Amino acid sequence: MFEPARLPNKKGLTTGRNDLDSLLALPDGLFTLRCRSTSWLFWMASTLIARNTEPGFRILYLQWVDYHDRYWSIDYDLLIRLAKRAQTDPQLMLDNTIIMRVFSRDGVEEEENWKQLFALNGPFRFIILDSINGLYSKFKREVNAKPMGYSIGRFSQLCMEKRCAGIVLDDSSAPLHPYLGELSSVILQFTHKGAWFAHLQKHPLQPEIEKEIAFRAQRTLARWLA
């Protein structure tokens, strides 16, 4: 059963890895994570959910996906595996994480849907938006970028109202939307050039930096230990 906590939690987000945590290193704000690989981004989102589940706090996961590309794409087994590895109670994670899926731009822009979100009871640990461009990437040539800007603004408003961090996932190759760039406290770009690199493009307390994020290849034994 979900029970709301009494005091707001201002602990920073953790991924379980010091190298990544040092780049995020903020208790609040809007975090934009960019990577061409949707599976990598989903892994990041799952890790954040698994590692930051706490009793008394909810996590809101907005999945804005193209129906053809990613319907039925939530990997529950991965989520549970990561939770066990993080020594988080998987049942707690399943109960405290709320998901809302939207498959069309019209759904994103509809006020009724935002009202549903704003009416949700917290407190919230953080809100993930996966992904900001998932429903817009086919309209790259559209001159009027207002809908995406509107959605970014509404999402930011939702995070402010719920007094929690917001995490925006962006898997497009297009330049970052300027409004999102403006609103984001932290912008982290992941690229794979033989190894994984994280490029910290914006942070209020750190200079721009690029560093390698070392990942061991998953071994069968490690996987089955979870």
Partner 1 sequence: MKFNAWLLDVSVHGSEAILAIKTNEGERVEVRDAFYPYFYVILKGNAEEIAWYVSQHPHVARVTEEQKYAQVLRQEKEPVLKVEVESTRYFQRVIIDVKKVPGVAELAETRMPNYLKYCFEKRLTFFSFYEWECTENRRLKRIQNIPQTRFPSLNTAYLQGGETGVLQTPHEAILLQPEALEAMLREKNVDVLFTLNGDAFLKPFSKTHAFHGVQLKHGIHIDLQKDLGIDIYAEGEGARLTPENVLAFGTARLERIMELSQTACAKAAIVSRVSPGRLNTYLHMMAAKRKDYLIPDSKKLVERPKTLRLLKSLDKGGTIFYPEPGVYENVAKFDFSSMYPSIIVNYNISPETLHCDNASQFLIVPEALWRIRTDAQGIIPQGIQHVLEKRLLLKKMAKTEKDSRLREAYTTRQKALKNILVTCFGYLGFNNFVFSNVECKECVILFGRVILQRAKDIAESMHLKIVYGIVDSLFITGGSDAQYAAYQKRVSEEIGIELDLEGIFQRIVFPSAKDASGTANKYYGITRDGKLEARGIKWRHSDACVLVKRFQYQAMMHLLNEPWETARKNAEKLLKEYSRTRWPLPDYAVHMALRKPLQEYRANAAHVRAAKQLKEEALSIAFVHTVHGPLPLVRAKAEEIDREKYAYLLQQSLEELIRVPLAFVANVPSVALEVTPRNEGPRNAGGNKQRLYKD
Verify binding: residue 78, partner 1, rule CB under 8 A. no
Verify binding: residue 13, partner 1, rule CB under 8 A. no
CB of 105 to partner 1, least distance (A): 9
Verify binding: residue 82, partner 1, rule CB under 8 A. no
Secondary structure, 3-state, the chain: CCCCCCCCCCCCCCCCCHHHHHHHCCCCCEEEEECCCHHHHHHHHHHHHHHHCCCCCEEEEEEECCHHHHCCCCCHHHHHHHHHHCCCCHHHHHHHEEEEEECCHHHHHCHHHHHHHHCCCCCEEEEEEECCCCCCHHHCCCCCCHHHHHHHHHHHHHHHHHCCEEEEEECCCCCCCHHHHHHCCEEEEEEECCCEEEEEEECCCCCCEEEEECCCCCCHHHHHHC
Binding part of the chain for partner 1, among 16-24, 30-38, 66-74, 171-179 by CB under 8 A, reads 66-74
Q: Collect all residues with Cβ–Cβ distance below 8 Å to 154 and sequence separation of at least 6.
A: 114
Verify binding: residue 72, partner 1, rule CB under 8 A. yes
Binding part of the chain for partner 1, among 7-15, 87-95, 175-183, 208-216 by CB under 8 A, reads 87-95
Verify binding: residue 71, partner 1, rule CB under 8 A. yes
CB of 57 to partner 1, least distance (A): 14
CB of 21 to partner 1, least distance (A): 24
Verify binding: residue 118, partner 1, rule CB under 8 A. no
Could you say which of 103, 139, 179, 197 contacts partner 1 (CB under 8 A)?
103
Could you say which of 39, 67, 142, 192 contacts partner 1 (CB under 8 A)?
67
Task: Look at residues 141, 150, 69, 139 and name the one whose alpha carbon lies nearest to residue 110.
Answer: 150
Q: What is the footprint of partner 1 within residues 156-195 (CB under 8 A)?
A: none
Binding part of the chain for partner 1, among 110-118, 139-147, 154-162, 188-196 by CB under 8 A, reads 110-118
Nearer to partner 1, 110 or 182 (CB): 110
Residue 212: strand pairing partners: 197
| Contacts to partner 1 by CB under 8 A | 60-61, 67, 71-72, 74, 76, 79, 91, 93-104, 106-107, 109-110, 112-113, 116-117, 120
